[in-house]
């Protein structure tokens, strides 16, 4: 049964003149870290092939630098490197000759992590390690030649085309934007001059590869930079690219250094596609849009609004390689949705770790982690239906084991039922929907409202027991900890106890930050409404001032509470948050006047408030509520009891280790155990 009637636009082919795309979904470019890993190209080939079999129409590879000054040292300039890339293109085309694969040429310019880095002017980016060397005329000509040579090698390696990235603060975009291009020669000054480099690169590439090779240019359609590109400049560049024979323009929405979140879970779905739509109405060639499009209906709606011709999904393809086929077959409820957490993908890229996915630990490990049918089915009991128990139960059952899942509460999800209540974490609902469906599909016997105990498990004669019982919140030993004004994070998030107007949050880990978000918040969640999001981050989608943000003041609604988020450590508060999302979390709280204090020693709680020493200074926080977010302890008693009865038992998730626990580790550990049990 196909579902083309439900997503008629998503599943319509796109004619590019000399070639055709079979549908409107492309897998956007992501650097995975496999590029540099031993045996990485074979692993990349398998990773791509699973997405090809999963139904995507086109793939853009992770960025490949055209020369040493442009990237991480991954390039394509020798015969043996071309050969490595052939291993990807041949496998992809072998799996489905109708799927196109294009190589992204990424010259990082001033963001390249090398002292050799270059730029139009010697201006160091706020987020770069090095000050770039200013290019002279010969240097500019060399860069242009290197782009063209790189494209030729991509063609020799069997790619169907290339995507040139002209956005994000990388080389080409630094020529385009005034504040990074201070040149007074023919490559700087007027916009005609600033766009010359982009155009010369495109001309050289087109001349080198001929007309049959797909040429995509990624433009910064709203760079979220104060003093960024004006709408008239974007239009002028896009028209020039079209005239120069670019086949597709891909729209991008920020520079890496922009102080606006553009892909995190706090960003509404499809938030930026109206910008692509405006550009599309001025052009005749197809446009790609992207950012937070994670489900087929969202993509179909974007196409129906006329905002784009093609939908780029990058992270959603990590989360579920079969997304497109599931949409086609009417199995949307089986899609493992990308929740835009960045925890296992972008945070890893920026931490120089290999990429995977929080909700799908197989991503980028397709050759290493496989869920093969068991030849020895076992009767397995799983205790706890949090992320760890859910992941274990579904995979073990899928492999053919007979699984019974015990959950003490009346719903599956564990702490995700708390997380999903935090404004900006609405996507966590999707993970619970996915697991709910997987439990049914794989025939897991789910016993809600059932607190498992050791004797019962023994009686039921399970072969093995998996304890995924999670954690208990830590209760610091402190005078006055039982005072009525002290509230646990559970009671605060579940609104089981009233929260006053003056609040101290004890503990500034992930949960402390989320509690601060929840209780400082008022009105509609920005993650569910583009207008609120634009207002909170100071974006003007209608008038499109320079960069979309120049001269626009952010405006946030607040609950009006006076909130202090505190920790004992003297490190900056929020240091442990996600690399690519923590800054936005901190900025959002600061805009709601949440104070952050480190170096706190807690003394006691009484009617006056919370007595502390802050960096040694006696300090009284006159608060009416103290919310305890002081970490968690593993819930292991059941494991000890079960083991004492001689039942083989395993520990996973928070029950195994509460320190530095997150859902990424819980799901990963559970999936690995389920793969081998
Ligand atoms: P839990 O989720 O704690 O689940 C344990 C389950 O076991 C519970 O449902 C419990 O009822 C059940 N149980 C216990 N004992 C028994 C018994 N005897 N019988 C039957 N059932 C039992 N992590 C991230 O990675 N990213 C985030 O953005 C994120 N945000 C969060 C926001 C909040 C507000 C909170 C509270 C947590 C957040 N986390 C986040 C942490 C994440 O939710 C946990 O790491 C994860 O839930 C741990 O999974 P688990 O399965 O080990 O345990
Ligand atoms: P956490 O991140 O370990 O933070 C615990 C906090 O409590 C720290 O600020 C710690 O800092 C403080 N603390 C520890 N022991 C204390 C004590 N005895 N008395 C007072 N304060 C104490 O844990 P969490 O916030 O409970 O979160 C649990 C897990 O969920 C985390 O590991 C986190 O990764 C995950 N999570 C992730 C996200 C996310 O957005 N990625 C969001 C929520 C939760 P000091 O010791 O300096 O005081
Ligand atoms: Fe999406 Fe998070 Fe997976 Fe990255 S790690 S692909 S953001 S779900």
Extract the tokens encoding 232: 């008239």
On the question of pLDDT at 4 being above 90, the answer is no
Tens of pLDDT along 273-300?
A: 999 999 999 999 999 999 999 999 999 9
On the question of pLDDT at 2 being above 60, the answer is no
Q: How far is the CA of 346 from the centre of ligand 1 (A)?
A: 23
Task: Identify the three-state secondary structure at position 543.
Answer: coil
CB of 663 closer than 6 angstroms to any ligand 1 atom: yes
Tens of pLDDT along 494-540?
A: 999 999 999 999 999 999 999 999 999 999 999 999 999 999 999 99
**For the chain, which domains are there?**
14-331 (3.20.20.70), 379-472+633-676 (3.40.50.720), 477-522+558-630 (3.50.50.60)
Tens of pLDDT along 124-164?
A: 999 999 999 999 999 999 999 999 999 999 999 999 999 99
Extract the tokens encoding 475: 């209760």
Q: What is the pLDDT of residue 1?
A: 43
Q: How far is the CA of 292 from the centre of ligand 3 (A)?
A: 11
**Confidence band of 350 (pLDDT split at 50, 70, 90):** confident
Q: What is the pLDDT of residue 506?
A: 98
Tens of pLDDT along 483-500?
A: 999 999 999 999 999 999
Extract the tokens encoding 364: 């980028």
Tens of pLDDT along 402-411?
A: 999 999 999 9
Residue having the nearest C-alpha atom to atom 37 of ligand 2: 510
CB of 294 closer than 6 angstroms to any ligand 3 atom: no
C-alpha radius of gyration, the chain, whole number: 26
For the chain, the straight-line distance linking the first and the last C-alpha, in angstroms and rounded, comes to 35
Mutation to probe ligand 2, out of 631, 632, 653, 655 (largest number of atoms < 8 A from CB): 631
CB of 266 closer than 6 angstroms to any ligand 1 atom: no
| Listed residue (177, 289, 180) closest to 223, CA to CA | 177
Task: Specify the DSSP element, H or E, that contains 26.
Answer: strand 25-27
Instruction: Determine contact, residues 571/558, Cβ cutoff 8 Å.
Output: no
On the question of pLDDT at 3 being above 70, the answer is no
Q: What is the pLDDT of residue 59?
A: 98
User: How confident is the model over 342-350, as a mean pLDDT?
Assistant: 95
Task: Specify the DSSP element, H or E, that contains 248.
Answer: strand 248-252
User: How confident is the model over 571-595, as a mean pLDDT?
Assistant: 95
Q: How far is the CA of 313 from the centre of ligand 3 (A)?
A: 12
pTM of the model: 0.96
Q: How far is the CA of 630 from the centre of ligand 1 (A)?
A: 15
Tens of pLDDT along 31-41?
A: 999 988 888 99
Residue having the nearest C-alpha atom to atom 34 of ligand 1: 419
CB of 584 closer than 6 angstroms to any ligand 2 atom: no
Return the ligand 3 atom nearest residue 664 CA.
5
Mean pLDDT of the chain: 96
Q: How far is the CA of 124 from the centre of ligand 3 (A)?
A: 30
Residue having the nearest C-alpha atom to atom 39 of ligand 2: 510
Return the ligand 3 atom nearest residue 360 CA.
3
Q: Are strands 248-252 and 214-220 parallel, antiparallel or unpaired?
A: parallel
Residue having the nearest C-alpha atom to atom 8 of ligand 3: 338
Which ligand gives the minimal distance to the CA of 493?
Answer: 1
CB of 229 closer than 6 angstroms to any ligand 2 atom: no
CB atoms within 10 A of CB 499: 18
On the question of pLDDT at 471 being above 80, the answer is yes
Catalytically annotated residues: 170
Tens of pLDDT along 536-552?
A: 999 999 999 999 999 99
């Amino acid at each position: 049964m196909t579902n083309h009637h439900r997503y008629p636009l998503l599943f319509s082919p796109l004619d590019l003149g000399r070639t055709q795309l079979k549908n409107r979904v492309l897998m956007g470019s992501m650097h995975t870290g496999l590029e540099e890993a031993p045996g990485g190209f074979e692993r990349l080939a398998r990773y791509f092939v699973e997405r090809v079999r999963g139904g995507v129409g086109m793939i853009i590879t992770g960025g490949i630098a055209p020369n040493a000054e442009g990237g991480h040292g991954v390039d394509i300039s020798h015969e043996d490197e071309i050969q490595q890339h052939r291993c990807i293109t041949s496998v992809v085309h072998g799996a489905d000759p109708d799927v196109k694969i294009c190589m992204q040429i990424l010259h990082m310019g001033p963001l390249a992590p090398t002292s050799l880095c270059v730029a139009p002017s010697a201006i160091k980016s706020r987020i770069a390690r090095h000050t770039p060397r200013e290019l002279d005329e010969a240097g500019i000509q060399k860069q242009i030649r290197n782009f063209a040579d790189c494209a030729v090698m991509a063609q020799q390696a069997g790619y169907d085309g290339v995507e040139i990235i002209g956005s994000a603060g990388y080389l080409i975009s630094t020529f385009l934007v005034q504040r990074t291009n201070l040149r007074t020669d023919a490559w700087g000054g007027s916009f005609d001059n600033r766009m010359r480099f982009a155009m010369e690169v495109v001309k050289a590439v087109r001349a080198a590869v001929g007309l049959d090779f797909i040429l995509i240019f990624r433009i910064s359609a709203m760079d979220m930079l104060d003093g960024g590109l004006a709408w008239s400049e974007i239009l002028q560049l896009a028209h020039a690219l079209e005239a120069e024979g670019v086949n597709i323009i891909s729209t991008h929405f920020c520079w890496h250094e922009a102080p606006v979140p553009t892909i995190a879970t706090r960003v509404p779905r499809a938030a930026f596609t109206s910008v692509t739509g405006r550009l599309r109405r001025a052009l005749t060639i197809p446009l790609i849009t992207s950012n937070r499009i994670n489900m087929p209906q969202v993509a179909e709606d974007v196409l129906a609004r006329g905002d784009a011709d093609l939908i780029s999904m990058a992270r959603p393809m990590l989360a579920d390689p079969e997304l497109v086929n599931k949409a086609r077959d009417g199995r949307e409820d089986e899609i493992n949705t990308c929740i835009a957490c960045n925890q296992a993908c972008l945070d890893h890229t920026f931490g120089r770790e290999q990429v995977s996915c929080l909700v799908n630990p197989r991503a980028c490990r397709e050759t290493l982690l496989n869920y093969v049918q068991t030849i020895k089915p076992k009767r397995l009991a799983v205790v706890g239906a949090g992320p760890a128990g859910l992941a274990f139960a579904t995979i073990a059952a899928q492999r053919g084991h007979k699984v019974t899942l015990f959950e003490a509460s009346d719903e599956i999800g564990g702490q995700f039922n708390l997380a999903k209540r935090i404004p900006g974490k609405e996507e966590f609902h999707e993970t619970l929907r996915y697991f709910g469906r997987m439990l049914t599909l794989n025939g897991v016997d789910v016993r809600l409202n059932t607190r498992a105990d050791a004797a019962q498990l023994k009686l039921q004669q399970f072969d093995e027991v998996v304890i995924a019982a999670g954690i208990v919140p830590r209760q610091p030993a402190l005078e006055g900890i039982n005072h009525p004004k002290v509230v646990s994070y559970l009671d605060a998030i579940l609104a089981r106890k009233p929260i006053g107007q003056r609040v101290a949050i004890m503990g500034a880990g992930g949960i402390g930050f989320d509690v601060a978000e929840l209780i400082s918040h008022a009105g509609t969640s920005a993650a569910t409404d583009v207008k609120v999001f634009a207002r909170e981050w100071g974006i003007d989608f209608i008038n499109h001032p320079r960069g979309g943000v120049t001269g626009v003041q952010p405006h946030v609604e607040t609950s009006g509470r006076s909130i202090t988020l505190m920790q004992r450590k003297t490190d900056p508060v929020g240091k442990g948050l996600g690399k690519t999302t923590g800054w936005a979390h901190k900025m959002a709280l600061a805009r709601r006047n949440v104070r952050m204090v480190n170096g706190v020693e807690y003394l006691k709680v009484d009617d006056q408030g919370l007595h502390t020493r802050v960096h040694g200074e006696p300090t009284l926080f006159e608060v009416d509520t103290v919310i305890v977010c002081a970490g968690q302890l593993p819930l292991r008693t059941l494991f000890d009891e079960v083991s004492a009865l001689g039942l083989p038992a395993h520990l996973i998730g928070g029950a195994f280790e509460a320190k530095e626990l997150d859902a990424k580790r819980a799901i990963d550990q559970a999936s690995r155990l389920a793969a081998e049990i």
